[in-house]
């Protein structure tokens, strides 16, 4: 038997070996094996981290068998897959999700118990991978979850940042950023392939030459290279045996760099240049929806996209694959403009490397991409200076020029003589400097362009990309965002999940429309009482969490009012602050009897981009107000503010299920969709919100009676702005508003320091770009309606139940269905 080899065709060589059995005994055995042979420690001497890593690897073992099997099945057919290209994936913790997907939660709990370990203690050890900023990154994570659950072929491509979104702490109320060294304890979920190197080139210049066939060709003489190293993550479907792949890239210096070091006189300088190459995947840029045009960011974008296209063509397709068949095999979804450089990259591959004619290559490229726009803020649409492009990616710049030429010919043909339009639509803009408009490039090359909520898609067509929608009306479509019910209801809210499952069965987890079966229970007193007990239990849980995590002691019996999202002026945390300050001001000035104020706790969670001054000032003011208000006895404990630092996915999972009231108060026409809004509704919070983003659809579905609408709608906003908006008008005519602003300006919250509130107040009174003062009174009135309604707990609970029952639409499974039907046309079921 010695040395007997397995032929490649041998069943054991073709694998996968069977998944370990679903039993407590088998799980114990796997776990101890991972602990002993993986971590190299006996149970008796193992640390919590050892135990967590062993547990994660045990669960990963169960996933791996399914992953290999999914890959094997997919290899045998040649159907089209989705390549989701995203610079961000805000995954959240992996352990619970993997346990749920494999239906191992109970088994793991019992197995660990047998080893004298509490599963919950190990859950706390996991550091969440924060490879995203906010909505866009979390959406990508929800989408890949749903694709796996639908058994749809999808590979997520992105960057393996060594440092994810910064950790936030507060010092004297001010935000301090701490690097997120999330890999420092090891990441048991990733599978590295250091041997899989993808070469990526930068800089240099191009040269023309004539090939053997006498054709004019272009050669890119690279300036410098880096290598892309592949890291795989498993993306399990919910209890369906499917496991898809998320593939993230890390940058490594090439051997040329190493050789330089070897040969160089200046050893230290040579090592520095190696660091330079590896910097590409070092850190996630912390701006959300307002990108800074930093060179390293363009390097990141090109790096991950170049790795991904190369990987898809060379590593996932058969060796005899013909690139002309690409549109039958793949549709790349561009998650915002961040990966749009993939378009000229594919052209370069097809024309320069595969020798296709330009027109053929363009015909193929135009079928391989679809573009999702996630914003309406003009400053969020990325542009790259031509000078930077020419330096970093000279060949791509040439290709973009040529694409633009052909495109502008099309425009001129459709609109003869309309040069103004030609200039508006051009992929190259001239002001303030010559630059590439990535959203235009994406729109020109894509099969479809979609917005992320009905209102947003309509505004894209009517405003931001109007010229394009006129030229190609059929290219534009809407896919309303969604969230995964596995993570955001089933895992995050076990009490509600149990109540739902006990009432209508378990089918809702993979078919969220079934929540509508709960509708009738809104009228059932017994059910309402249970529903309230769930909320109460979730409030107790968040009270424990905030006590342990932040040392915050939440008062009991309050309406829990939650505003969690990135700090941005358009989202209007300022308006929320004005509301609380108005109540407080009313109480201390004697205009408002504290006994008449509904006891309310307002919880904020928000990170500000480190360079965003106004956002940071707002954080400081919120913290300052919290300190003063919480300590003021005149309030008689009826108002409480909490601002736990470092809001992240893990905290969201604890906080959202406990909320009574969801704050979605952006200026109409600014929030593309919002997805937090969906998570709250699904967990039985009522929304106070503007007619913006997906709020519009939430309100339509849950009904006006179960939603607190306020503020101007988008046409009213446009009209007011056209008329000329003067915030001072509102300050002068609204007494409560004036008094609240004066209180802030007086330094009441900032230890008497008027300057500390100066920037905030000054901007509100003289600029107020997002019309907080214009919506103030309407917001205050809506909050008064909230208080009145909350006093009737039976009515409130009915509304909360109806929010749950009518929000099934907001499952990301439905979003994926829409993408598949309208854009991707891929098959599901494996
Ligand atoms: O994308 C979310 C939307 C949300 C929008 C957000 C977003 C980013 O997080 C980053 C960049 C960007 O252009 C947009 O602000 O409204 O819900 C997912 O679509």
Q: Is the CB of 134 under 6 A from ligand 1?
A: yes
Which residue's entry shows tokens 């929304």?
687
794 CA distance to ligand 1 middle (Å): 36
Rounded to a whole number of angstroms, the CA Rg of the chain reads 28
Q: Is the CB of 692 under 6 A from ligand 1?
A: no
Range 334-355 average pLDDT: 98
Atom of ligand 1 nearest to the CA of 289: 11
Atom of ligand 1 nearest to the CA of 693: 16
Q: Is the CB of 439 under 6 A from ligand 1?
A: no
Q: Do 77-93+128-481+817-824 and 557-639+656-809 agree at the fold level?
A: yes
Atom of ligand 1 nearest to the CA of 456: 16
Q: Does residue 388 have a pLDDT over 80? A: yes
Q: Does residue 250 carry a catalytic annotation?
A: no
664 CA distance to ligand 1 middle (Å): 14
Confidence band, pLDDT 50/70/90 cuts, at residue 602: very high
454 CA distance to ligand 1 middle (Å): 14
Residues 749-795: tens digit of each pLDDT: 999 999 989 999 999 999 999 999 999 999 999 999 999 999 999 99
Q: Is the CB of 288 under 6 A from ligand 1?
A: yes
Distance between first and last Cα of the chain: 39
For residue 7, the SS3 value is coil
Q: Does residue 264 have a pLDDT over 70? A: no
Range 509-538 average pLDDT: 98
Residue 17's pLDDT is what?
73
Q: Does residue 571 carry a catalytic annotation?
A: yes
8-state DSSP, 214:
S
Q: Is the CB of 678 under 6 A from ligand 1?
A: no
By CB atoms closer than 10 A (0-12, 13-18, 19+), residue 633 is: exposed
Contact 818, 697 (CB under 8 A): no
Give me the torsion for CA of 184, 188, 191, 192, rounded to 10°. Answer: 20
Of the residues 66, 679, 748, 798, only one is catalytic, namely: 679
Residue 14's pLDDT is what?
76
Q: What is the mean pLDDT of the chain?
A: 96
CB contact set of 763 (below 8 Å; sequence gap of 6+): 614
Residue 451 phi/psi, 5-degree rounding, is -95, 175
Protein residue whose Cα sits closest to atom 7 of ligand 1: 136
Residue 2's pLDDT is what?
52
Q: Does residue 184 have a pLDDT over 60? A: yes
Packing angle between helix 135-149 and helix 812-819, nearest 10 degrees?
Answer: 80
Q: How far is CA 166 from CA 129, 161, 498, in A?
A: 11, 12, 35
Contact 664, 687 (CB under 8 A): yes
Q: Is the CB of 291 under 6 A from ligand 1?
A: no
How far apart (Å, rounded) are the C-alpha atoms in residues 132 and 284? 7
Report ipTM for this prediction.
Answer: 0.99
Q: Does residue 423 have a pLDDT over 70? A: yes
Range 107-114 average pLDDT: 98
Structure tokens at 534: 């769930």
Protein residue whose Cα sits closest to atom 18 of ligand 1: 136
Contact 164, 133 (CB under 8 A): no
Q: Does residue 167 carry a catalytic annotation?
A: no
Atom of ligand 1 nearest to the CA of 672: 16
694 CA distance to ligand 1 middle (Å): 12
Q: Is the CB of 669 under 6 A from ligand 1?
A: no
Range 393-405 average pLDDT: 98
Residue 5's pLDDT is what?
72
Confidence band, pLDDT 50/70/90 cuts, at residue 296: very high
Structure tokens at 559: 């309406």
Q: Does residue 825 carry a catalytic annotation?
A: no
Residue 1's pLDDT is what?
42
Q: Is the CB of 666 under 6 A from ligand 1?
A: no
Residue 24's pLDDT is what?
98
Q: Does residue 679 carry a catalytic annotation?
A: yes
Give me the torsion for CA of 90, 96, 100, 106, rounded to 10°. Answer: 180
The fold for domain 557-639+656-809 equals Rossmann fold (3.40.50)
Confidence band, pLDDT 50/70/90 cuts, at residue 11: confident
Q: Is the CB of 335 under 6 A from ligand 1?
A: no
Of the residues 486, 566, 798, 814, only one is catalytic, namely: 566
Residue among 142, 375, 376, 483 whose CB has most ligand 1 atoms within 8 A, to mutate: 375
672 CA distance to ligand 1 middle (Å): 6
Beta bridge partners of 435: 385, 429
Atom of ligand 1 nearest to the CA of 291: 11
Contact 80, 175 (CB under 8 A): no
CA angle 241, 152, 310 (to 5 degrees): 110
CA nearest neighbour of 157 among 85, 90, 88, 235 = 85
Residue 269's pLDDT is what?
74
Ordered by start, the domain boundaries in the chain are 6-76+94-127, 77-93+128-481+817-824, 557-639+656-809
Q: What is the CATH number of domain 77-93+128-481+817-824?
A: 3.40.50.2000
Q: Is the CB of 481 under 6 A from ligand 1?
A: yes
Q: Does residue 565 carry a catalytic annotation?
A: yes
Q: Does residue 265 have a pLDDT over 90? A: no
Range 678-683 average pLDDT: 99
Q: Does residue 504 have a pLDDT over 50? A: yes
- pTM of the predicted model as reported, rounded to 2 decimal places: 0.97
Q: Is the CB of 673 under 6 A from ligand 1?
A: yes
Q: Does residue 262 have a pLDDT over 70? A: no
Protein residue whose Cα sits closest to atom 8 of ligand 1: 136
């Amino acid at each position: 038997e010695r040395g007997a080899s397995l032929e490649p065709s041998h069943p054991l060589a073709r694998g996968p070996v069977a998944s370990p059995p679903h039993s407590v005994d088998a799980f114990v055995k796997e776990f101890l094996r991972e602990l002993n042979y993986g971590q190299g420690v006996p149970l008796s001497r193992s640390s919590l981290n050892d135990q967590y890593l062993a547990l994660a690897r045990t669960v990963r073992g169960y996933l791996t068998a399914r992953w290999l099997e999914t890959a094997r099945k997919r290899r045998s057919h040649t159907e089209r897959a989705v390549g989701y290209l995203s610079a961000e994936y805000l995954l959240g913790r992996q352990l619970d999700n993997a346990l749920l997907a494999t239906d191992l939660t109970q088994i793991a709990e019992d197995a660990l118990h047998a080893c004298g370990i509490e599963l919950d203690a190990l859950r706390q050890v996991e550091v969440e991978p924060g490879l995203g900023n906010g909505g866009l990154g979390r959406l990508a994570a929800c989408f890949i979850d749903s694709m796996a659950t639908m058994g749809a072929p999808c590979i997520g491509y992105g960057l393996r940042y060594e440092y994810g979104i910064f950790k936030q702490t507060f010092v004297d109320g001010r935000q301090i950023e701490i690097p997120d060294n999330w890999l420092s304890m090891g990441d048991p979920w990733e599978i590295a392939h250091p041997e899989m190197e993808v070469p990526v080139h930068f800089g240099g210049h191009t040269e023309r030459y004539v090939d053997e066939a006498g054709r004019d060709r272009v050669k890119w003489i690279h300036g410098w290279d880096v290598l892309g190293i592949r890291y795989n993550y498993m993306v399990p479907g919910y209890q369906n045996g499917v496991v898809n792949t998320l593939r993230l890239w890390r940058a490594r210096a090439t051997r040329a760099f190493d050789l330089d070091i070897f040969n160089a006189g200046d050893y230290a300088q040579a090592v520095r240049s190696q660091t330079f190459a590896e910097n590409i995947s070092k850190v996630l840029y912390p701006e959300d929806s307002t990108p800074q045009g930093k060179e390293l960011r363009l390097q990141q974008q090109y790096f991950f996209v170049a790795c991904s296209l190369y990987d898809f063509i060379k590593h996932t397709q058969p060796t005899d694959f013909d690139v002309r068949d690409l549109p039958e095999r793949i549709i790349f979804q561009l998650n915002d403009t961040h990966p749009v450089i993939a378009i000229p990259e594919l052209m370069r591959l097809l024309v320069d490397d595969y020798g296709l004619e330009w027109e053929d290559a363009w015909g193929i490229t135009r079928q391989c991409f679809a573009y999702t726009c996630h914003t309406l803020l003009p400053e969020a649409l990325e542009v790259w200076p031509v000078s930077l492009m020419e330096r970093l990616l000279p060949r791509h710049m040439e290709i973009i020029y040529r694409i633009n030429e052909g495109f502008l010919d099309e425009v001129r043909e459709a609109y003869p003589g309309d040069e103004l339009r030609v200039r508006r639509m051009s992929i190259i803009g001239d002001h303030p400097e010559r630059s590439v408009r990535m959203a235009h490039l994406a729109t020109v090359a894509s099969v479809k362009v979609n917005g992320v909520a009905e209102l947003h898609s309509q505004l894209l067509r009517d405003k931001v990309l109007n010229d394009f929608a006129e030229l190609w009306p059929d290219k534009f479509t809407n896919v309303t965002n969604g969230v995964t019910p596995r993570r955001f209801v089933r895992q995050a809210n076990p009490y509600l999940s149990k109540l739902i499952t006990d009432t209508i069965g378990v089918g809702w987890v993979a078919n969220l429309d079934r929540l509508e079966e709960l509708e009738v229970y809104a009228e059932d007193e017994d059910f309402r009482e249970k529903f309230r007990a769930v909320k109460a239990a979730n409030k107790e849980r968040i009270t424990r969490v905030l006590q342990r995590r932040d040392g915050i002691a939440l008062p009991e019996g309050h309406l829990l009012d939650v505003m969690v999202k990135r700090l941005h002026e358009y989202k209007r945390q300022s308006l929320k602050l004005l509301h609380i300050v108005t109540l407080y001001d009313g109480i201390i000035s004697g205009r408002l009897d504290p006994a008449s104020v509904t006891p309310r706790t307002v919880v904020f969670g928000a990170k500000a981009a480190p360079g965003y001054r106004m956002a940071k000032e707002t954080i400081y003011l919120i913290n300052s107000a919290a300190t003063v208000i919480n300590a003021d006895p005149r309030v008689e404990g009826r108002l409480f503010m909490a601002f736990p630092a470092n809001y992240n996915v893990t905290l969201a999972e604890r906080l959202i299920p406990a909320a009574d009231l969801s704050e979605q108060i952006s200026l109409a026409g600014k929030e593309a969709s919002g997805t937090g809004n969906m998570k709250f509704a699904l967990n039985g919070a009522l929304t106070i919100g503007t007619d913006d983003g997906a709020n519009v659809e939430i309100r339509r579905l849950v009904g006006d009676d179960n939603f607190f609408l306020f503020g101007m709608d988008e046409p009213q906003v446009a009209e007011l702005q056209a008329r000329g908006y003067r915030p001072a008008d509102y300050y002068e005519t609204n007494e409560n508003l004036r008094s609240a602003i004066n209180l802030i300006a007086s330094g009441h919250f900032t230890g008497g320091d008027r300057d500390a509130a100066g920037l905030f107040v000054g901007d509100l009174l003289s600029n107020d770009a997002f019309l907080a003062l214009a919506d103030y009174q309407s917001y205050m009135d809506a909050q008064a309606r909230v208080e009145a309604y909350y006093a009737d707990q039976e009515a409130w609970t009915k509304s909360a139940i109806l929010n749950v029952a009518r929000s099934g639409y907001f499952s990301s499974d439905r979003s994926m269905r829409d993408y598949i039907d309208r854009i991707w046309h891929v098959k599901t079921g494996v």
